Structure 1
C-alpha cells in the first residue's frame, strides 16, 4: 500500500507544471501589428499599460469557441472596467481579423500576430494549442494566470479580482 501511495505522489508531483510568471525575452520581441498596420514588439504594447492589470485574449475570427466566449468577456469588461483587455488575433488574413472585430463588436486594444497560431516566439512560449487562450498580467507585470481557455473560468475571474 505504501508503494502505491508513493508512486501516486511521484506521479502527481512530476505532472505538476510550473507556469511562468514572466514572458521570455523572445516572446516579448515578437512583432505584432495594430489595426493601422503599424508594427510593435509585444513588450512595447505591454509597456503602454504598465501599472494596469491586463487580460490577454488570444483569439481568431474563424474560431467558434472564441466567438462563443465573447459574451462572457463582455461581462468581465463590465465587472472589471479598470482592466485593459488586450486582444491578440492569430488570424493570418488581416481583413478577416478586422471584420471579426466589427462583426463581434469586440471592445478593447487590438493587435495581430501575423504568423498565426502555429509559428512564432510568443505562441511557442505560451505553448498555444487551443484558442481562445486567456492570460492575466497584474499591475506589476507578473503573469498571475497563464492558461485559461474559457472566459467563464472561475480562475480567470479570481485572477482579475486579486489585489497585489
Structure 2
C-alpha cells in the first residue's frame, strides 16, 4: 500500500512539473505592442524568429528581481550571440517600459503586453512570478518552460546543446 501511495505521489509531482512544449491558441493570439507602437500577436512575434533559438525574458521595470538579473542576461547575450533575446514587459504603462529599455541599456527585441497578468499569454503560461525565462527552439518548440533566474543551470545547458 505504501508503495502505491509513493508511486501516486511521484506521478502527481512529475505531472505537475511537466513542461508545456507549445503555446496555447489563447497565448498565440494575445496582442503585444512593439517599440514602434504597432500591434502584433505573439504568434507573429514567434514567426519572425522561426529558425532561431529564442530566450524569452518576461520582466517589468518595477520588478527588483528583474533588474538585478539584467547583468546575468547581458552575460548570456554576450556568450550566445546567435540567440535572439525577446523581452516581454509587464510594466504598468508603455512610458515606463520604454524608459526602462533605455535606462537599463537592454539590447534585444522588445514587446509590451497590454493584456497584463490576466491576459491570454500570461494566464496560459501560468505566470506566477517575474522574471520568467523561457526558451523556444528553432522549430518553435518550448525547450525551457520556466526558470526564474537568469543564471539557472537549465538555461545554459539548453543553450550549450543547441
Q: TM-score range by the shorter chain?
A: over 0.9
* 1:9 corresponding residue in structure 2: 7
Q: What is the Cα deviation at residue 11 of structure 1? A: 0.5
Q: Which runs of 5+ in 2 are unaligned?
A: none
Q: What is the Cα deviation at residue 12 of structure 1? A: 1.4
Q: Which runs of 4+ in 1 moved over 3 A?
A: none
Q: What is the Cα deviation at residue 20 of structure 1? A: 1.0
Q: Which runs of 5+ in 1 are unaligned?
A: none
Q: Which has the higher helix share?
A: 2
Q: What is the Cα deviation at residue 6 of structure 1? A: 3.0
TM-score w.r.t. the length of structure 1 is 0.94
Q: Which secondary structure state, in structure 2, belongs to the residue aligned with residue 32 of structure 1?
A: strand
Bigger CA drift: 96-105 or 10-19? 10-19
CA-based RMSD of the aligned residues comes to 1.0
TM-score w.r.t. the length of structure 2 is 0.95
Q: How many residues align?
A: 160
Distance 2:92 2:35 in 1: 13
Distance 1:92 1:28 in 2: 21
Matches within 5 A, 1:1-164: 3-16=1-14, 17=16, 18-117=18-117, 119-163=118-162
Q: What is the Cα deviation at residue 115 of structure 1? A: 2.1
Q: What is the Cα deviation at residue 79 of structure 1? A: 0.8
